[in-house]
Amino acid sequence: MSQTTQLQRRAEPIASLDADAVRAAYRRWAASYDTVFGGVSAWGRRRAVAEANRLPGNRVLEVGVGTGLALPHYRSEKRITGIDLSAEMLQRARTRVAQDQLTNVTGLLEMDAEATNFAAGSFDIAVAMFVASVVPNPRRLLAEMRRVVRPGGHILFVNHFAAERGPRWWVERAMAPASRKLGWHPDFALEALLPAEDRAAATQRPVPPFGLFTLVRLPN
């Protein structure tokens, strides 16, 4: 298979996922998500929040807020709106907000990240942590984040993106069928999310552990 063909296949939408499948996956995992996934994702989550804290503007949209693991780490002046497709995950996030008295969290809403109800330019920053590889249409996610962030704002992703070659490339593809049952795609490529012009404009930084995740910052 040529490199061009490999890139084309990696850029194709993940057709096996749909909104109902995502809801079902996270309904199953809501109670144990923090224990099972919280540790391995902690570095990426904190790096993404630190970047959001550093950037100008206080109106922040967290896409796929889940159980709210990132919420306590935002600076108090940041006004956070979180959205998620899973009602069960959102309920746990609301409990966290109440327990930790996070008064800068202004809303936690059940909403489809690919088609939100927000007006254009509603936010200064939109951040999606470990979300891009589990939505049905990553490019629609990107387009919606671009729409709701003001011109001159920033879009942040932290995610696992597939290796382009080498041993990890084969391991990720061998893991893919089992991982999909958890709503995770180890064979998810950056090209599936960002077109060429956005990849050229984006800043990418590897995140521990072992550079498994990547923090991507894209100017809007």
Is the model more confident about 16 or about 161? 161
Q: Please report the pLDDT score of residue 188 as a whole number.
A: 83
Question: Residue 91: which residues within 8 A CB-CB, separation 6 or more?
Answer: 30
Listed in order, strand segments (DSSP E) in the chain are 59-63, 79-84, 105-110, 123-129, 149-159, 203-207, 213-219
Q: Above 50 in pLDDT, residue 12?
A: no
Q: Hey, what are 150's tokens?
A: 């003001």
pTM of the model: 0.79
Q: Please report the pLDDT score of residue 209 as a whole number.
A: 72
Q: Please report the pLDDT score of residue 4 as a whole number.
A: 33
Query: For the segment 18-46, what is each residue's pLDDT rounded down to a tens digit?
Result: 666 666 655 555 455 554 565 567 888 99
Q: Are 81 and 97 in contact (CB under 8 A)?
A: no
Mean pLDDT of all residues belonging to the chain: 81
Backbone phi, then psi, for 205, in 5-degree steps? -135, 130
Interval 101-124 mean pLDDT:
97
Percent of the chain with pLDDT over 70: 70
Q: Please report the pLDDT score of residue 28 as a whole number.
A: 55
| Spatial CA neighbour of 23 closest among 109, 110, 81, 98 | 110
Query: For the segment 180-204, what is each residue's pLDDT rounded down to a tens digit?
Result: 554 556 678 899 999 999 999 999 9
Q: Are 215 and 50 in contact (CB under 8 A)?
A: no
Domains along the chain with CATH numbers: 3-219 (3.40.50.150)
Burial (CB count <10 Å: 0-12, 13-18, 19+), residue 129? buried
Q: Please report the pLDDT score of residue 171 as a whole number.
A: 52
Interval 164-175 mean pLDDT:
52
Interval 58-68 mean pLDDT:
96
Listed in order, strand segments (DSSP E) in 65-185 are 79-84, 105-110, 123-129, 149-159
Question: Residue 166: which residues within 8 A CB-CB, separation 6 or more?
Answer: none
